[in-house]
Structure 1
Amino acid sequence: MSRPSFVAAWFSPWSERARFALDHHRIDYREEAYVPMLGEPLLRLRTRVFRGPLSVPVLFHDGRVLRDSVEIARYADELGTGAPLFPASEGAEIARYVELATGLMEAARALSVSRMAQDETLQFENLPPSVPAPLRPVFARLGTAFMTRKYRLDTRDPERDRATIRRNLERLRTELRGRDTLLSGFTFADIAVAVSLTMVRPVEHPLIPLGPGMRAAFTEPGLAEEFGDLLAWRDKLYAERRSVKGAASAAAA
């Protein structure tokens, strides 16, 4: 079997939840770092998507092109070893939690990019090491503007986004009720929700090597304090379930 190629942005929660699933199943893949704006023309060529929205993660394997984190995670269930993340009996509930987590991430992304747009230091930290030093100031500004345009973040209402995050966190707290997993066992629902909480306050883990500026950009202080129980659940899940294979795989690419 050929080695899958995984194109991902280093701190995209959408990339991280697909990466988490691949590592859960111990799949040997090669990770390619995606740089917004710079990497899009080549990615469009490789995916044959020449119009419309295009984002990462993308998985290339044996002629297949998978362009969605959930689709990649489902493929990992087919390809790898380990307990399935999408048991058929809980498919509807998993889909519901994925939708909830995605809504939380979209709201939090608007708030974090807005913070980065106002702080050049944060823009620098957000760039991958592969961007040459002389080009970093230019691409820091252009990258933030690109993200704002691509996701129409300037049209969003910050207070409405915070209300969305709070509403979703309250629902999660009610439904988790002190359990280790959201459903009867560990599933992709847990991965999706745990990763989404990184947008409330980033997890401390070798795979999420954030500087202090980026950590602050992705933290909602009031919500992080109020929902510390959910963040503690997320931290425990990462400590027990999150392999560091992804870091090694990316470094070897």
Structure 2
Amino acid sequence: MSRPIFVAAWFSPWSERARFALDHHRIDYHEESYVPLLGEPLLRLRTRVFRGQLSVPVLLHDGRVIRDSVEIARHADRVGTGSPLFPASAEAEIARYVELATGLMEAARVLSMPRMANDPAVRRESLPSFVPTPLRSALLPLAGLGAAYVARKYRLGSRDPNEARATMRRALERLQAELRGRSTLLSDFTFADIAAAVALTAVRPVEHPVIPLGPGMRAAFTDQEMAKEFGELLAWRDRLYAERRSTPGTASA
């Protein structure tokens, strides 16, 4: 079996939930940073997707192209070690939580992308880690183009920020009501927990070595009002990351 190649945007919650699953199953993969706009031509060539929308994360493994974060997690379930994230008895419930978490992330993107696009400090921090420090200021226009490209790609300008915020609140209220003080959403740790925990980046990013956000990026993803209102959810997420989130190549706690 060849070593998988994981193409991802380091700050994207979609990439993080696939990465979480890969690391949970202790899969040895090579991660490549995807740069919006600039990285798309090469990604299209490698995936043979020449028309339509293409986004990350993408996993390239043994001749397969796996293009969706949930499908990447399912693939990790099949080829990795450790407890399953998609037990057959919980498929319907997991799918429901994934849908809820995805809606939360999509709504949050409507609010966070303008903050990223309008703040030079955030644009500087959003550049991939391989960009040398002396070049970061010179490449700020590139980061701005990337943010504008993402906004066009997902038609964020046509979304109502107030409706997006209301969607976020409804999703958070459901999660808080259904968690009810438990350590996991279902009887065991599953991908439902990963999806929900990662989606809470929309309220306040977790502090963990796998997500090394700078202060500008952290502020862009933080909603102070909701962070205070849904503090119990964030505390649950922080505990789950501390107990379950392994770093690449190591086992979960």
Give your verdict on TM over 0.5. yes
Shift of residue 143 of structure 1? 1.1
Q: Which residue of 2 aligns with 1:230?
A: 233
Matches within 5 A, 1:97-136: 97-131=97-131, 133=135, 135-136=138-139
Q: Percent identity?
A: 75
Q: Which residue of 2 aligns with 1:164?
A: 167
Matches within 5 A, 1:24-43: 24-43=24-43
Matches within 5 A, 1:137-176: 137-176=140-179
In structure 1, the residue corresponding to 2:139 is in which secondary structure? Answer: helix
Q: Is the 8 A contact 2:4 2:30 kept in 1?
A: yes
**Residues 63-87 of structure 1, C-alpha deviations (whole Å, 9 max, x = no match):** 1110000000000000001110000
Q: Which residue of 2 aligns with 1:251?
A: none
RMSD over equivalenced CA pairs, Å:
1.2
Shift of residue 146 of structure 1? 0.6
| TM-score relative to the length of structure 2 | 0.95
Residues in 1 aligned to 2:244 and 2:181: alpha-carbon distance in whole angstroms: 17
| TM-score relative to the length of structure 1 | 0.95
Structure 1 residue ranges without an equivalent (≥5): 248-253
* Aligned partner (choices 240, 244, 247) of residue 243 of structure 2: 240
Shift of residue 135 of structure 1? 4.4
Residues in 1 aligned to 2:32 and 2:185: alpha-carbon distance in whole angstroms: 32
Q: Is the 8 A contact 1:120 1:140 kept in 2?
A: no
**Residues 158-202 of structure 1, C-alpha deviations (whole Å, 9 max, x = no match):** 111110010000000110000000001000000000000012100
Q: Which residue of 1 aligns with 2:89?
A: 89
Q: What is the letter of the counterpart of residue 101 of structure 1?
A: A
Q: What is the letter of the counterpart of residue 245 of structure 2?
A: R
Structure 2 residue ranges without an equivalent (≥5): none
Residues paired across the two proteins, number: 247
Residues in 2 aligned to 1:93 and 1:12: alpha-carbon distance in whole angstroms: 24
Shift of residue 114 of structure 1? 1.2
Shift of residue 35 of structure 1? 0.7
4+ aligned runs moved over 6 Å, structure 1: none
Q: What is the letter of the counterpart of residue 14 of structure 2?
A: W
Q: Is the 8 A contact 1:59 1:72 kept in 2?
A: yes
